[in-house]
Amino acid sequence: MNKVFGLLMVCLLSFNMAWAQEERIPAKGFAVDSKEGHFHPYDFTRHAVGDNDILIEILYAGICHSDLSSVWSEHGKSNYPMVPGHEIVGRVIATGKNVSKFKTGDYAGVGCMVNSCGECADCKADMEQSCQKGPVFTYGFHDPYHDNEITMGGYSNNIVVSEDFAITVPAGADIKRVAPLLCAGVTTWSPLHYSNVKKGDKVGVAGFGGLGHMAVQYAVRLGAEVTVFDITEEKRDDAARLGAARYVNVNNPEDLKGLDNSFDFIISTIPLPYEPFMYVKMLKKGGDLAIVGLPENSTLDITAMAFQAPNRRVYASFIGGIKETQEMLDFSIANNIYPEVEIIKADAAEIENAYKSVLDGKVKFRYVIDMSTIDKK
Ligand SMILES: [Zn+2]
Ligand SMILES: [Zn+2]
């Protein structure tokens, strides 16, 4: 009898353990239900921690301009309810049995992607962001690797992600300011390296917001002479403080004089409709214009004249691969390069207020939500 009871216990116990590993993870966050963009507290679950996955307790989540576009369905209809957030940093609180990069207690970051096929030429070339089967973006996307569930982002208390898509946070990092590097950092870092920007180059940064202020810091650190372009007088001093040699208010015709044929590289982070030809003309022969900002409605009004500037390249750049994101983060922490952040509480009204400031261009330069302040009830 005892033997049978013992066997039953063993069976029950192993069944329990197997079940526990399959268990979905409860999560709390902030969601919007429509393009009206009203945030509310939202309880949901995440897929179980698989053998290659880590569970991260989110500490900070950045608010990226593209979150606004997604929330408001500006690039096509979004999936709702949506929990935005693709600038995530937190602490590892559980690991799957095959995980080797992280242990419990480590800091980890997550950026714009949480999965990709891993087998196509782009994935093999460390460019998961252009996976030919489509990368799985961190929120609002169907995840074919997890029953096609819709991904939920970082405005929440936790996330489950494959260790292959989690970034190691170097020791000594100022953890409050790390999250925006995972999108704004790598998005600007990547084209600066693709175009091989080096000491003495003349670099233009068009749009001086969350992305632009990172581009300025990286270009200055690489030894370039940096000119900032924006539409306000209010950021002139900030540009100088971050090391820019020159500030151009594009609404001021005087500022624009004498700039044609003078730049080796220009990065445009402008998130609003604008005319890129002005910047193409400013390139030297052989110069590059990298476009990383996504104007609303996804349209860029570019005149055919822009293609009559011989031997200048206009190219698209889109975030960066996981390997490149790790290189960017290691470089940033080692060189003390961080975004300038304003920390807000994990509260629906605060998030909506922050969105208004981002839209009005008032933020300097990135809002970061302190997710540890989320109402745990
Ligand atoms: Zn972003
Ligand atoms: Zn792929």
In angstroms, the CA 32 to CA 83 distance is: 7
CATH superfamily of 184-316: NAD(P)-binding Rossmann-like Domain (3.40.50.720)
CATH superfamily of 23-176+338-373: Medium-chain alcohol dehydrogenases, catalytic domain (3.90.180.10)
Q: Which amino acid is at 257?
A: K
Whose atoms come closest to the Cα of 294: which ligand?
1
- CA of 54 from ligand 2 middle (Å) equals 21
Give the pLDDT of residue 21. Answer: 54
- CA of 197 from ligand 1 middle (Å) equals 23
Scanning 175-290, the segments in alpha helix (DSSP H) are 184-194, 210-221, 236-241, 253-256, 277-282
Give the pLDDT of residue 273. Answer: 83
- CA of 144 from ligand 2 middle (Å) equals 13
Whose atoms come closest to the Cα of 209: which ligand?
1
C-alpha gyration radius of the chain? 22
Strand partners, 107: 91
Domain ranges (residues) in the chain: 23-176+338-373, 184-316
- CA of 21 from ligand 2 middle (Å) equals 27
Pairing state between β 366-370 and 341-345: parallel
Scanning 120-258, the segments in alpha helix (DSSP H) are 121-124, 184-194, 210-221, 236-241, 253-256
- CA of 138 from ligand 2 middle (Å) equals 16
Whose atoms come closest to the Cα of 112: which ligand?
1
How far the first Cα of the chain sits from its last, in Å, is: 45
- CA of 68 from ligand 1 middle (Å) equals 10
Give the pLDDT of residue 297. Answer: 66
Tokens of 70: 């997604």
Tokens of 317: 């750049």
Tokens of 212: 């632009």
The contacts of residue 95 (CB under 8 Å, 6+ apart) are 49, 53, 54, 55, 102, 103, 104, 163
Nearest to 60 by CA among 115, 113, 107: 107
- CA of 62 from ligand 1 middle (Å) equals 8
Cα dihedral sign, 5-10-13-19: negative
In angstroms, the CA 326 to CA 336 distance is: 15
Nearest to 180 by CA among 319, 86, 108: 86
Residue ranges in the chain whose pLDDT is less than 50: 1, 7-20
Whose atoms come closest to the Cα of 137: which ligand?
1
Residue 290 near residue 317, CB atoms below 8 Å:
yes
The contacts of residue 240 (CB under 8 Å, 6+ apart) are 247
The dihedral region occupied by 37, where left means phi > 0, alpha psi between -120 and 50, and beta the remainder, is: left
